Amino acid sequence: MVHERILLDIETQRDFFEPGRSCYSPDASRAAQSIYRLFSWARIDHIPVISTVLRVRANEHGPLTSAPHCVEGTDGEKKLSKTLLRHRINLGLRNVTDLPGNLFAKYQQVIFEKRDTDILAHARLERLITELAPATFVLCGVGVSHGLVQATVGLRNRGFGVIVASDAIVDLGHPLREMAYLRMEAKGAIFVPTSEIITPAPRRRRRKTHVAAKSGPALQKAWRK
């Protein structure tokens, strides 16, 4: 499967993004608008999308925060409606290695449900990634100190380019978030705002924080990987 760009959204679920939900924060509302822009971009430019959904058993504690979240069967577990594309398939929770052939020839979006935050701990998802030709992943979603850093490290170790949409991620205030940002940077991930992912700009920007943009030549180089 050959694709130049792939959008990977991690845990874009109601509990994190909707006011009144268990893990909502004002930052999440702003991030959601950027996530919706990325999905619009993917839809228009026919960019394949890999999505993950965390499902926590009712009698277990979720991995991302101390508050209950993504409990299966609840509304908060559901994916944001604007992150669902028309041509999609949900492969569910089955953590097996079998995988339908030619997935992205039939569907634009492939959704995986999982118990663990690490995308590569899911056998089907790991197989799909292994079968992909070199590409650049654009990451957005929830859990900088969990799923996002795990995905970045795993993808970079497999030779994929990684661009993190800096305004389309939520760190949930985790105490190790700064370390996670540093680790992603050390692995070669590039942080840019959504506006420059949708329309890459050949200019340099001043880097202000760990999540500030490295744009221009760095972004163009990432697209070529």
Query: DSSP letters of 152-192?
Result: HHHHHHTT-EEEEEEEEEE-TT-TTHHHHHHHHHHTT-EEE
Provide the 3-class DSSP secondary structure of residue 53. Answer: strand
Residue 60 has pLDDT above 80, yes or no: yes
Structural domain span for residue 107: 5-224
pLDDT at 211 over 60: no
Please, what is the Cα angle at 41 between 173 and 110, to 5 degrees?
A: 75
Q: Residue 204: is its pLDDT beyond 80?
A: no
pLDDT at 210 over 60: no
The answer to whether 151 touches 10, Cβ cutoff 8 Å, is yes
Instruction: Give the single-character DSSP code of 59.
Output: T
Structure tokens at 99: 């995988």
Q: How distant, in Å, are the alpha carbons of 48, 87, 104, 105, 121 from that of 98?
A: 20, 21, 16, 17, 15
pLDDT at 71 over 90: yes
Residue 99 above 60 pLDDT?
yes
- Of 61 and 35, the structure prediction assigns the larger pLDDT to 35
Is it the case that residue 219 has pLDDT exceeding 80? no
**pLDDT over 90 (residue 59):** no
Mean pLDDT of 66-84: 93
Domain count, the chain: 1
Distance CA 13, CA 172 (A): 13
On the question of pLDDT at 196 being above 80, the answer is yes
The pLDDT assigned to 174 comes to 77
201 or 150, greater pLDDT: 150
Average pLDDT, the chain: 88
Q: What is the average pLDDT across 18-30?
A: 91
> What is the arithmetic mean of pLDDT over 24-29?
90
Report pLDDT digits (tens) over 177-187.
Answer: 899 999 999 99
pLDDT (mean) for 58-71: 87
CATH code, 73: 3.40.50.850
The string of pLDDT tens digits covering residues 106-136 is 999 999 999 989 999 999 999 999 999 999 9
Is residue 65 very low, low, confident or very high in pLDDT (cuts 50, 70, 90)? confident
Please tell me the distance from the alpha carbon of residue 177 to that of residue 79, in angstroms, as a whole number: 24
Residues 6+ apart with CB under 8 A from 95: 114, 115, 122, 123, 124
Quick one: pLDDT at residue 216? Answer: 57
Predicted local confidence at residue 25, as pLDDT? 86
**What's the confidence (pLDDT) of residue 213?**
43
* Burial of 120 from C-beta contacts in 10 A (0-12 / 13-18 / 19+): middle
Contact 225, 136 (CB under 8 A): yes
Joined tokens for residue 16: 């994190």
d(CA 1, CA 23): 36
